[in-house]
Structure 1
Amino acid sequence: MARSAGPACALLGIGREAASFERRGFLPAPPAVQQRLEGIGRTFIDGYRAALSAASAEALAAQLDAEIPLAGRGFAYEGAGMGLALLDLLMPWTASRLQAFLAGPALAHCYIVHVGAGWALARLPWGEGYRRRLDPLLGWLAYDGWGFHRGYFGGGRIPAAYPARLGMAARRVHDQGLGRSLWFVCGADPWRVAMAVAGLDAGRHADLWAGVGLAATYAGGADEAALGELRRLAGAHAGWLAQGAAFAAKARLHAGNPTADTERGCRALCGCDAVTAAAATDRALQALPADGPEPAYALWRHRIHALLRPRSEEPVPC
C-alpha cells in the first residue's frame, strides 16, 4: 500500500516506521520473531492509512483484500477500525463510517474491527462515549484496543495506572488489551512476558494473561516449547491464558483466516484444537443475558474460562 492516503492521512498519519522495535523502545527479539511482530505493526498501519482515504466501506475492504495476504488481513482490518473510528469522532455530523464497514464488508472481521476502534478512543479524550454506539457485546473490545494502544506506545514501559475515565468493568477489558501488547513489547519471550505481568498488581494478572494468550495465538511467533513454557509460567492463570487463546481462534475462524499459529496456540494453551476452542466461545454465548450488574462481555469471558480451565492451575514463581 504505497499509494498516497490523502489529506486526512497527512493530518492523522502514522508512518510505517512507527512499527519498528527501535522506534517503540522494545528490547530486541530473535530476528525472525522481531521481523514478524514488526510486520504485523506495519500491516495495521497500512489498514489504518487506507481507511483515512477510502471512498467507501466497500472500496476499503476491496483494497485490503487485494493487497494484504489472508493470514495478516485481520491486522489491516484492525487498523481500518481505528481509522474509521477516528474519522467518526472528528466528524460526528456524518453517518458513521465504522458502522457502515461493520454492517457490510467487515462483518467477518467484526471482532478485530471493534478492537481497532479502541485505538481511536485512546487518542481522543472525548471518545469514550463512542463505545456505546458500537455492538452491545463486541463493543467492549474497544477497551481491549485502548489497553493495547497504551502498552504498545508506552516506549517499552508498561503503564501501571489506568486512564481516569475507565470504570471497573472497562479496566478489566483494558488489561486484556494491555496483556496483548506485552507479547509485542516483550518480543514473544515467555519469561519477559511473565516478569512484565508480575510487575503489575496481582488483581490484574488474570486479565493480563488472557490478553497474552490471545496475542500468542492470533499474532503467533512462538513454537510449541515456548508456548508450553508460557502456560507453565501462567500457573494459576492458565485458564485465562486459554480463554484468550479461544478468543483468538474464534476471531480467526470467523474471518476465515486461521493459521498454523492458531492451531498450535490452542493445542498448547487450551489443550484442544482451534475448532474446539472456538466452539467453546459459542457455547458460552448461549442464553447470555444483556448487560446488568455484570456486563455480558465479562460473563462471556468467565464462561469460556470455566469451559477451558485446566484441572490443575498451580502458581509458578517467576
Structure 2
Amino acid sequence: MPSFAGVMRSRLLTPSPAETNLEKRGFHLKSEEARTNLETVGKVFLSGFSLAVGSGSVGELERSLEEIPRDYRGFAYEGAGMGATVYDALPGHRGRLAGLLAGNGRRHVYMVYVGIGWAMARLPRFRWPDVRRTDPLLRWLILDGYGFHQAYFRTDRYVRNPGEPVRFSWAGGPDDASARVVDQGIGRALWFVGGACPDRVAALVEAFPAHRRPDLYAGTGLAATYAGSADESELRALVAHAGEHRYRLAQGAAFAAEARLLAGTEVPHTERATAVICGTTAAEAARLCTELRPAGPPLPGTTVYEEWRDGIASALASRIPPGKEDSA
C-alpha cells in the first residue's frame, strides 16, 4: 500500500486524465473505436506515472504494473519511466529509475527510456538524469520521448506551425543526429494528433520540410504498429503515402515489433502492421533489430543509434522489391 506521502505525491504530480482527451487536445477523431484506444493509451500512461511517483517501493510498483492488461502494459511502463525519473529528481529521493530498469523494466526497456524523455520535457535542466549511466545505444530513445511529449502537449508549436528542428548536444553525437531522433518522437505523436487516420497523419507529415519527413514517418510507423487503431487497408494507405520513405516507416514498425516481443506483449495489430509495412512477420522484424544492433563505436560523423536505424531500414528494403508495396 502506498504511504500517505506517496498518495499525496501522486495526486500533486500526476497530470489530469482529461489531458488525454483527443477532442480537448484538438486531435482528429476518426472513429469511436480509435478514439477509445488512443485515449486509453494516454490514461494507462498516466496510471504508470502515478504508480511510479506514489508507490512505496520498486517491488510494489512492479506488482501494480504487471496487473495492467497486456495490450496496454507497455504504455504503463513508459509512464513509469517518466514517473521514476521525476521521483528521483525530488529532493531526498533516488534509485527508482535504476530499480525499475534492474527489474521487470528490463523487458520494457524501450518504453522506459522513452518515458525518461517525457520527464525531461517537464523538469528543469539541472534536474535531468545523468544519461552517462544509461545504455549508450538506447539513451537516444530518451530524445524520442522528448519529441513525443512536445508534439502531444505543445501541438501548435511542434506540429501545426513547426519551426526549426530541436537540437541537443547529446551523448557526444552531432546535433543533427539528436534532431532526427526528436523528429522520430514527433512522428509517433502525429499518429495521435491525426487520430490514426492515414490520410490525416500523412498530411501532417507532408507539412514539414522534406528533409524531416523520413524521421517523422519512422515515428509514425512505430506508433501505428505499437499502438494500433488501423486496419489492413488503412495501413496500406499509410505505406502509399510514405512513398520513398517506405523503408523508414518500416524501420519504425520493426522497432515497435521488437519492443512488444521483448516485453511479451504481442497483439494481433502488431503482426498485421509488420506484415503490411515491413513485408514480414513481427518476429522477423524484431530479429532484424536484435541482429543489427551495433556492437562497436560509430563511424565518424554519425552515432550508433543512426547506424542501427539505417541498417534496419536497408535490411527491410532488401526484402521488399521496389514496386511491390501493394502485395506486401
Structure-1-length-normalised TM-score: 0.92
Task: Report how many aligned residue pairs link the two structures.
Answer: 310
Alignment partner, residue 22 of structure 1 = 23
Alignment partner, residue 96 of structure 1 = 95
The amino acid across from 1:142 in the alignment is I
Displacement of 1:270 in angstroms is 0.1
Question: What is the alpha-carbon distance in structure 1 between the residues aligned to residue 167 and residue 276 of structure 2?
Answer: 37
Question: What is the alpha-carbon distance in structure 2 between the residues aligned to residue 131 and residue 205 of structure 1?
Answer: 28
The amino acid across from 1:103 in the alignment is A
The amino acid across from 2:40 in the alignment is G
Classify 1:281/1:229 alpha carbon distance in 2 versus 1 (closer, same or farther; 3 Å).
Answer: same
Classify 1:155/1:208 alpha carbon distance in 2 versus 1 (closer, same or farther; 3 Å).
Answer: closer
Alignment partner, residue 163 of structure 2 = 160
Question: What is the alpha-carbon distance in structure 2 between the residues aligned to residue 22 and residue 32 of structure 1?
Answer: 14
Question: What is the alpha-carbon distance in structure 2 between the residues aligned to residue 289 and residue 250 of structure 1?
Answer: 22
Question: What is the alpha-carbon distance in structure 1 between the residues aligned to residue 108 and residue 323 of structure 2?
Answer: 33
Structure-2-length-normalised TM-score: 0.89
SS across alignment from 1:197: helix
Question: What is the alpha-carbon distance in structure 2 between the residues aligned to residue 86 and residue 45 of structure 1?
Answer: 13
Matched, 1:184 2:192: yes
Alignment partner, residue 72 of structure 1 = 72
1:75-120, Cα deviation, whole Å (9 max, x unpaired): 00000000011122333x6433111110112111111100011001
The amino acid across from 2:58 in the alignment is A
Whether the 8 Å contact between 1:27 and 1:187 is mirrored in structure 2 is yes
Give 1:303's match in structure 2, choosing from 294, 306, 311. Answer: 311
Classify 1:24/1:140 alpha carbon distance in 2 versus 1 (closer, same or farther; 3 Å).
Answer: same
SS across alignment from 2:12: helix
Displacement of 1:46 in angstroms is 0.6
Question: What is the alpha-carbon distance in structure 1 between the residues aligned to residue 100 and residue 129 of structure 2?
Answer: 19
Give 1:235's match in structure 2, choosing from 221, 238, 243. Answer: 243
Alignment partner, residue 117 of structure 2 = 118
Classify 1:296/1:196 alpha carbon distance in 2 versus 1 (closer, same or farther; 3 Å).
Answer: same
Question: What is the alpha-carbon distance in structure 1 between the residues aligned to residue 280 and residue 18 of structure 2?
Answer: 38
Question: What is the alpha-carbon distance in structure 1 between the residues aligned to residue 32 and residue 290 of structure 2?
Answer: 37
Question: What is the alpha-carbon distance in structure 2 between the residues aligned to residue 112 and residue 76 of structure 1?
Answer: 9
What's the % identity of the aligned pairs?
43
Classify 1:128/1:161 alpha carbon distance in 2 versus 1 (closer, same or farther; 3 Å).
Answer: farther
Alignment partner, residue 200 of structure 1 = 208
Give 1:245's match in structure 2, choosing from 253, 259, 284. Answer: 253
Whether the 8 Å contact between 2:45 and 2:78 is mirrored in structure 1 is yes
Q: In terms of mean alpha carbon deviation, does 146-155 or 243-252 score higher?
A: 146-155
1:127-180, Cα deviation, whole Å (9 max, x unpaired): 556333321111110000000001111246614334464522111110111000
Whether the 8 Å contact between 2:232 and 2:272 is mirrored in structure 1 is yes
Give 2:322's match in structure 1, choosing from 312, 315, 318. Answer: 312
Matched, 1:274 2:274: no
Displacement of 1:292 in angstroms is 5.7
Displacement of 1:227 in angstroms is 0.2
The amino acid across from 2:211 in the alignment is G
Alignment partner, residue 47 of structure 1 = 48
Whether the 8 Å contact between 1:115 and 1:144 is mirrored in structure 2 is yes
Classify 1:140/1:231 alpha carbon distance in 2 versus 1 (closer, same or farther; 3 Å).
Answer: same
> After TM superposition, where is structure 1 displaced by more than 6 Å over at least 4 residues in a row?
none
Question: What is the alpha-carbon distance in structure 2 between the residues aligned to residue 30 and residue 239 of structure 1?
Answer: 28
Question: RMSD value over aligned CA atoms?
Answer: 2.1
Q: In terms of mean alpha carbon deviation, does 135-144 or 150-159 score higher?
A: 150-159
Whether the 8 Å contact between 1:176 and 1:209 is mirrored in structure 2 is yes
